[in-house]
Amino acid sequence: MMIYPTLELLGGRCVTLSRGNMDQPSIWHVDPLEIVRDWAGTGASWMHLTDFDGVDGRNDNADLVQEIILAAQIPVQLGGGFRTADGVAQWIDKGVGRVVIGTWAAQDPDGVKALAKRYPDQIVLSVAVWKGQVMLNGWRNASALSPETFLRAFADTPLAAVMITDIDSDIDDYDAQMGVISGLATKASAPVIASGVVRSLDDIARLKYIPGVDGAIVGRALFSKTFTLSDALEVAAPDREPVADFM
């Protein structure tokens, strides 16, 4: 299973949010360029980057995002307010490995399907779920879509992955959250990346055995030093097959 160490930017600073609340971010006083270089050196194959200012249509972090892409030395999966094909093309041309799209995909599925065909295996569908509904605009507005309907709409689309976040149990109920992710993973036609669920190495170990789950977003636990990226990568690695000891 792939571990995606994750940076989230707000106002030029590294943050983590609780249930997407941008009014009360946890701010981490770190150098993002140093962090991503360390992740690459530790052995990460990918990283995830979210630009929360981009969710609100602001371009304030563009220079910093570009610096992170160049410093990372591993492919970057970028999310944060993509609404146009030109915007996606711009960042792919700048070196982004994948682009994450949620709200735009709900509002213009045909446009995003066409984009995915133009950039096969570079578009990630974001499915944020709250009380059985897909949430839009940075988790602030409920849509009329169920996550199952949303996934079916993209069943034949060459997506790189589907990123699933269960906002309803984002803080408290890990078992319920695992249940939502495992249930939706059976309905997704692309590999699933679990978001918001990893609090401990045990969570990684559990996700590893859920059919259809191919990766996990890991952010807060790394910044709070709950565990190291090296430990996370070790737990997520494929189990070694037992080898007979022949005499």
Per-residue pLDDT reduced to its tens digit, 11-54: 999 998 876 667 778 899 999 999 999 999 999 999 999 999 98
Q: Quote the tokens at residue 61.
A: 């972090």
Structure tokens at 27: 């701010």
> Smallest Cα–Cα separation from 193: which of 98, 56, 83?
98
Residues in the chain, how many? 247
Q: Is the pLDDT of residue 170 over 50?
A: no
Pick 156 or 239 by higher pLDDT: 156
Which domains, from first to last, does the chain contain?
2-236 (3.20.20.70)
pLDDT band at 56 (very low <50, low <70, confident <90, very high): confident
Tokens of 189: 């036609």
Bridge-partner residues for 218, per DSSP? 5
Alpha carbons 164 and 193: distance in angstroms, whole number: 6
Residues 204, 3 contacting (CB under 8 angstroms): yes
In sequence order, which residues have a C-beta less than 8 Å from that of residue 122 and are 6 or more positions away? Answer: 92, 97, 98, 99, 116, 160
* CA–CA separation, 68 and 212 (whole Å): 30
The residue ranking higher by pLDDT, 239 or 148, is: 148
Question: Tell me: the pLDDT tens digits for 202-212?
Answer: 999 999 999 99
Rounded distance between C-alpha atoms, residue 170 and residue 202, angstroms: 16
Helix axes 109-118, 85-93, angle to 10 degrees: 30
3-state secondary structure at position 204: helix
**What are the tokens at 209?**
């055995």
| Phi, psi of 218, rounded to the nearest 5 degrees | -130, 115
Q: Give pLDDT tens digits for 175-228.
A: 667 888 999 999 999 999 999 889 999 999 999 999 999 999 999 999 999 999
